[in-house]
Every structure is written in structure tokens, then in C-alpha cells.
Amino acid sequence: MSNVSEIFGSMVFNDEVMKQRLPKDVYKSIQNTIKNGKHLDLTAANVVANAMKDWAIEKGATHYTHWFQPMTGITAEKHDSFISPVGDSAVIMEFSGKELVRGEPDASSFPSGGLRATFEARGYTAWDPTSYAFIKDSTLYIPTAFCSYGGEALDKKTPLLRSMEVLGKEALKILKLFGNEDVTSVKTTVGPEQEYFLVDKEMFDKRPDLIYTGRTLFGAKAPKGQELDDHYFGSIKPRVQAYMKDLNEELWKLGVFAKTEHNEVAPAQHELAPIFTTTNLATDHNQLTMEVMQKVAKKHGLVCLLHEKPFAGVNGSGKHNNWSLCTNTGVNLLEPGETPYENAQFLLFLSAVIKAVDDYQDLLRLSVASAGNDHRLGANEAPPAVVSMFLGDELTAVLEAIEKDEKYSAKEKEQMKIGVHILPKFPKDSTDRNRTSPFAFTGNKFEFRMLGSSASIAGPNTVLNTAVAQVLREFYDKLADAKDFTSTLHELVKDTIKQHKRILFNGNGYDESWIKEAEKRGLMNLKSTPDAIPHLLDEKNVKLFTENKVYSETELKSRYEILLENYSKVINIEALTMVDMAKKMIIPAVSKYTKDLAKTVQLKTSLGMDAGYEKEVATKLSGLNTAAYEKAKALEDEIMKVKGIADPEENAKAYEKYVISAMNELRVVVDEMETMTAKEYWPMPTYGDLLFGVR
């Protein structure tokens, strides 16, 4: 391997490259655009575009693309070559500022939830200079936002950028109250830990369910699962090791800070964690990471599964969204401080997050809702569908002391007074060992653990940023004109804890008793996607987003539709795939096996031999196969019935209620048949093959 520092960011048009290649004044204007969101004029844009093109061509690029994140959840791109004709027979390589700043993909087929009437047909992409351009597959990628001509966001990036802006603004106002004159901007930071499965490509190719849906729709349990815990942090197999090495190198070239990797709980499951960075970069990088993971896997004869629940009965995959706020002077605002003054500021931001999570628990829940993640949340491995916060014992004790005007430890002489007393030092390890909490304070950041592995992190971060921004503004309004700042602050923190402590829970989130307790506390338990999504249009939530200018009401309505429609479409594809596999692969295979068994019975009986085994298995399987056929037909009927429902909410609920239950019924019969059918007859690789097949 070449030197890491040499390859790191070698394919990125980053600050260093800009400094080298741009005239001083242009470099200054682009810095001003990146750091302060100032408009870049066309003359400067032309110079940047030209420098970008020359750099890209030197690195072997021939094309460029505006890269964006439509509501499909995956990234989209449309490649154009740099070539411009000169006269009849010659070409030059060109790329103008106009082409850099704005693109018009023929994007009429992206989901827009009715935002773009098809006669308008197009949205446009606008350069996001805060995320560096990069080269991948001989193409210069330009990160962009995707909007309609009416200015409505058609992507995941635009609202995220808006939410970062509003949070930055509100946090800065608060910091000024605390006298931080040197701070000029605040950004949110994120480090998303990404889980995934690796399976052998040859086996993958034999499973239509994996091909069409990314998860197994049938499959009896393998004799071995994850019960021995021997995979978690276990030694990495050579083939996987080779994959990870290659993956890291590819990511480093793109400037993605891939740092740690290890085996996860389930067999064939792994995790990649990057070093955290600014949220919009982290979002772009996470999308890139998912793409590169899949691409590199193919080179190694593997397939990378990013689905939340590829296999029943073993853990699914999520994404831990480590989140904090950082000033341009490098101060982490969720780091407990050394002095009473730093502590006061920390406690204020902490209280703001507590209130935000409690007030907008429904939004946080729905921001992670998808058909895939429904298999995980609330199951015995991922956080429950109820949102709660873990603060750890020490910090909880401090908050209790503040709430009740008590001493926070036996050693202390006086009551805990914010702005006067120093917080105890929290040993870091003791803060984050509760893995069952959906939203845990881990020493100097919060870890939102409900995200699904395949989804963009943009949505959850948009919610989190906006909710915290809203609360910070409310806090600011109370503090700005306070006569006695310290005591107003103390009362504010105290009241916030009092009003929102129901969201705090340090116990075992997997425990059934917690769900009951949560209900008593009045916390929401939105069990599925169709339960959760409709809350997007609740009055308080519409108010939050519109007042903070993160989503317009029209944008929210469109998202509500897209999310519900997406759910229904996913279930529909899964159901159709099941019917197809049952009718064309599984039922015929079992029929063939029973036929061969029956023939053996005939032959053996005619020879006077005992055919008890063959007869019993054939009879049982015949019965089950008929049942499977009936269940497949019943599933088909349900699909037909719900398909016509026009209202997206009703439609999604019908898919959940009728189609999913019919799918489950079919699966039970098929999985039982699998356990009785000779391996050579079973028409596809089994769970054992898939989960333990990469050696």
C-alpha cells in the first residue's frame, strides 16, 4: 500500500488544491463562500471551474457530473463529458462556471410527491461549495442540492443545509450571551458508524430476494447463529481483511476518514466508523461510503448488504449517528468544561438537547422510519421504537441535584449552583455502555442509535438540528434580557429538567417493562412506518419546520407522500418477489423432491423393502406444499386488493396490516419445508451458506 498520507484526499479538490491552483483573490472569494455562505460571482466561478477541470483532467477524468441526493435515498448523477467541439473536426476540453454552479438533469422521474407537475419536467441542481468536488471512476463529481424551479427542495441535502444554518445561528446567539466574542460560527458534527453484511456473490446471485429486495424473504435458521458471540470483534477472515484494506484505500482517496473497522455481532456482519466531520460532509461521505462499499465488494467476489434486516433471527444493521456542536474555534459544545462558566454553558446546551428530544420525539422516530428499519426497531437487538435518552448515572445525579436544589454528592458542602460550581469529571467509559438506549450521551456527544443502515443520515440530522435550534431560540429569548443572568440560567435549566425528565431513562431499553413504563410517562411508541410518518404533518411539527425555514408546508406534504408511497412500494416488491419465488422455485422444487420420494416408495415397496421414511416425508411435504401454494395465492389476492387504495396513508396501513401478514404466513410454511427438503433439491443457498459462506 502506498503511504496513507499520500493517498488521503488525492482525488479531492480540497482546500490545499484550491490554495495551490487558484489566484489569491479567487481563493479568498471561494473561502468566503464556503465559510460564510457568501455568493460567488460568475467570473470567480469560471476561474474555479477551469482550475477544477484542469486538475480533474490531469487525474484522468473525462467527464463531470452534478451529484445529488434525491428522495430515492440513493445518490443520482448524470455524466457529461468536458468535450466541446471546435469547428468540424476538433474538440477542446471545457467546463464553465455556469456548468459548475448549475445543472439541469432531466429529472422528471425522481419522486417529488406532486411538487413538480410533470409538464414542468425538470428540477435543477445547484453547486454546494461547502462539500468538496472529487474524482471517482474517471468523473469529476460536483456535490449539489436539487430543487424545483419554484425553489422547493427535491432532495435530502437542501433541508439539511438549511437546518445547519439555523442551528448555527441560534447557537452563536447563545454563545454571545456567554461572552464568547471570538466565535464566529457553529457547525454540527457527525460521525456515522456504518454496519453491513458481506455475502459471497455467487450465492447472492442465486437468491432473487436478495437481488430484488436486499433481504432474505425466506430462510430457515442455520444450526448456528450469533449465540456464541464469537464473531463480535473476532479475528477478521483474510478475504474480508483484503476487502477492508481495499475499501479503506478507496475511501481515503476520496477524503473519507474511514478509521475503525471490526466484526459485528451477527455472523458475516461488520462495521466501519469514520472520524467525525461537519454534518453535510459527513452526509456526503456516508453516501459515498455506501457506494464504495458495494463497488469494492464486487471486486472481491462479494456483495455488501446494506439492508436493515437481511436475515431473520440474527441482528440487523444500523447506523449510529454521533452528533455534536463545534465552534470555528474548535470548542465542542457538548464537552463538559473545567470551569463553572464552561459548565454552565455545557448544561444549557445539554438541557436544550433534552428538551428538543422530548418535544420532537415523534419527528426523531419518523426520521428513521422505513420498511427495512421496521424489522429492527423494537426487536431485541436495536433500540426500541420509543425514543428516550441515556445520560449515565453521574450526569443524571447532577441534573437531579439541580432540579431539587440539593447537593449532588455527599462530599459537596453546598447545593449545585450553575455558573458557580464545577461539575464532577465524568469518566468517559462509564457514560456510554448502555447500548440499548436510542439516544445516548457518550461523554462529549450524543449518539442517536435508531438510524437504519441503508438510509441517508440527512433526514435524522435535519430533525435534530432544527429541534435543537428551536429550543435554543426559546432559551435565548428567556436569557437575553435577564437582569441576573446566572440565576435566570439556573432556573431555566432547572425548569427544563423538571418538565422533560420523562425522556431520561438509564435502564435497559430492551426490557418489556420499559415499554409499559414509557407509556405511563406519556412517551410515544410509534411502532411502524405507517404509524410514524403521518406525524410529519402534526401542527406543532409543521410549525417547527416552517418557522425555522427548513421545510415549507408544501415540501412537508410532498415528503409525507413520498415516504408513505416508498413504504408501500417496498412491501409490494417484497410481496411480489415472494410469490414469484414460491411459485417458480420453491413449490416446484419441493414437488420434484416429493415425486422422487414417492417413486422410491413405489420401488421399495415393490421390492418388499421398508419405505417408512420416504413415505412420511413425502406425505408431510406434499401437504405443506399445497399449503404453500394456497398461501402464495392468498398473498397475491392481498396485493391486488390493497394496490388500488389511492390515499397514501391508508395504502401504507393496508400493506402493513394485510400484505405483511400474508407474507409472514407464506414464509412460515416455506421455512418449514426447507428444514425437511434434501439440500440438493432446495433451489437456493441457505442461511448457513450465506452467513458462513465467506471464508
Among 9, 70, 111, 191, binds ligand ADP (CB under 6 A): 191
Question: Using CB under 5 A as the criterion, what x/- string covers residues 184-203 for binding Mg ion?
Answer: ---------x----------
> Considering the complex, what minimum distance in angstroms separates the CB of residue 149 from Mg ion?
41
> Considering the complex, what minimum distance in angstroms separates the CB of residue 322 from Mg ion?
7
Contact 101, 126 (CB under 8 A): yes
Q: Which residue's CB atom is positioned nearest to ligand ADP? A: 191
The binder of 324, among ligand ADP, Mg ion, none, by C-beta within 5 to 8 A per type, is: ligand ADP
**Rounded-to-integer distance, Cα 174 and Cα 529, Å:** 36
Q: Which is nearer to ligand ADP, 66 or 320 (CB)?
A: 320
Contact 305, 199 (CB under 8 A): yes
> Considering the complex, what minimum distance in angstroms separates the CB of residue 192 from Mg ion?
10
199 binds ligand ADP (CB under 6 A): no
The binder of 274, among Mg ion, ligand ADP, none, by C-beta within 5 to 8 A per type, is: ligand ADP
> Considering the complex, what minimum distance in angstroms separates the CB of residue 410 from Mg ion?
33
Which window, 59-67, 316-324, 379-387, 483-491, contacts Mg ion (CB under 5 A)?
316-324
With contacts defined by CB under 6 A, how many residues of the chain interact with ligand ADP?
15
Give me the phi and psi of 683, to 5 degrees please.
Answer: -80, 5
Tell me 502's DSSP state. G
**Rounded-to-integer distance, Cα 291 and Cα 67, Å:** 13
The binder of 667, among ligand ADP, Mg ion, none, by C-beta within 5 to 8 A per type, is: none
Contact 466, 459 (CB under 8 A): no
The binder of 365, among Mg ion, ligand ADP, none, by C-beta within 5 to 8 A per type, is: none
Give me the phi and psi of 498, to 5 degrees please.
Answer: -55, -45
Cα-Cα-Cα-Cα torsion 550, 551, 553, 559, nearest 10 degrees, comes to: -160
Q: Which is nearer to ligand ADP, 107 or 258 (CB)?
A: 258
> Considering the complex, what minimum distance in angstroms separates the CB of residue 334 from ligand ADP?
7
- Name the helix (H) or strand (E) containing 269: strand 269-274
> Considering the complex, what minimum distance in angstroms separates the CB of residue 446 from Mg ion?
11
Task: Output Rg (C-alpha) for the chain, integer angstroms.
Answer: 28
**Rounded-to-integer distance, Cα 578 and Cα 665, Å:** 11
Question: Using CB under 6 A as the criterion, what x/- string covers residues 301-320 for binding ligand ADP?
Answer: -------------------x
Find, among 179, 154, 159, the residue nearest to 104 by Cα: 154
Q: Which is nearer to ligand ADP, 193 or 261 (CB)?
A: 193
Find, among 567, 559, 562, 565, the residue nearest to 537 by Cα: 559
Q: How far is CA 239 from CA 244, 299, 314, 692, in A?
A: 9, 11, 22, 13
* Residue linked to cell 396513508: 649
* Residue linked to cell 446566572: 486
**Rounded-to-integer distance, Cα 130 and Cα 139, Å:** 19
139 binds ligand ADP (CB under 6 A): no
Angle in degrees, 0-180, between the axes of helices 340-359 and 485-500, rounded to the nearest 10? 30
278 binds ligand ADP (CB under 6 A): no
The DSSP annotation for 278-303 comes to EHHHHHHHHHHHHHHHHHHHHHTTEE
473 binds Mg ion (CB under 5 A): no
**Rounded-to-integer distance, Cα 656 and Cα 627, Å:** 22
Tell me the H-state helices in 529-552: 529-532, 539-547
Which window, 15-23, 97-105, 155-163, 185-193, contacts ligand ADP (CB under 6 A)?
185-193
The binder of 332, among Mg ion, ligand ADP, none, by C-beta within 5 to 8 A per type, is: ligand ADP
> Considering the complex, what minimum distance in angstroms separates the CB of residue 191 from ligand ADP?
3
**Rounded-to-integer distance, Cα 250 and Cα 202, Å:** 24
The binder of 46, among ligand ADP, Mg ion, none, by C-beta within 5 to 8 A per type, is: none
332 binds ligand ADP (CB under 6 A): yes
Q: Which residue's CB atom is positioned nearest to Mg ion? A: 320
- Name the helix (H) or strand (E) containing 594: helix 587-606
Question: Using CB under 6 A as the criterion, what x/- string covers residues 244-273 for binding ligand ADP?
Answer: -----------------------------x
320 binds Mg ion (CB under 5 A): yes
651 binds ligand ADP (CB under 6 A): no
**Grid cell in block for residue 40:** 460567488
600 binds ligand ADP (CB under 6 A): no
276 binds ligand ADP (CB under 6 A): yes
Among 252, 323, 567, 629, binds ligand ADP (CB under 6 A): 323
329 binds ligand ADP (CB under 6 A): no
- Name the helix (H) or strand (E) containing 145: strand 139-148
> Considering the complex, what minimum distance in angstroms separates the CB of residue 77 from Mg ion?
31
153 binds ligand ADP (CB under 6 A): no
Contact 377, 510 (CB under 8 A): no
> Considering the complex, what minimum distance in angstroms separates the CB of residue 443 from ligand ADP?
8
190 binds ligand ADP (CB under 6 A): yes
> Considering the complex, what minimum distance in angstroms separates the CB of residue 279 from ligand ADP?
9
> Considering the complex, what minimum distance in angstroms separates the CB of residue 87 from ligand ADP?
53
Q: Which residues contact 37 (CB under 8 A, 6 or more apart)?
A: 165
Which window, 289-297, 320-328, 344-352, 652-660, contacts Mg ion (CB under 5 A)?
320-328
CA dihedral (413, 414, 420, 426) positive or negative: positive
Q: Which is nearer to ligand ADP, 289 or 558 (CB)?
A: 289
324 binds ligand ADP (CB under 6 A): yes
Contact 529, 652 (CB under 8 A): yes
In single-letter form, the type of residue at position 334 comes to: L
Provide, for the chain, the percentages of residues in helix, strand and coil under a 3-state DSSP scheme, each rounded to the nearest 5.
Answer: 50, 15, 35
> Considering the complex, what minimum distance in angstroms separates the CB of residue 180 from ligand ADP?
18
**Grid cell in block for residue 450:** 435508531
445 binds ligand ADP (CB under 6 A): yes
**Rounded-to-integer distance, Cα 416 and Cα 398, Å:** 8
**Rounded-to-integer distance, Cα 457 and Cα 116, Å:** 25
The binder of 436, among ligand ADP, Mg ion, none, by C-beta within 5 to 8 A per type, is: none
300 binds Mg ion (CB under 5 A): no
567 binds ligand ADP (CB under 6 A): no
Given the rule CB under 5 A, which residues bind Mg ion?
A: 193, 320
Given the rule CB under 6 A, which residues bind ligand ADP?
A: 189-191, 193, 273-276, 320, 322-324, 332, 444-445
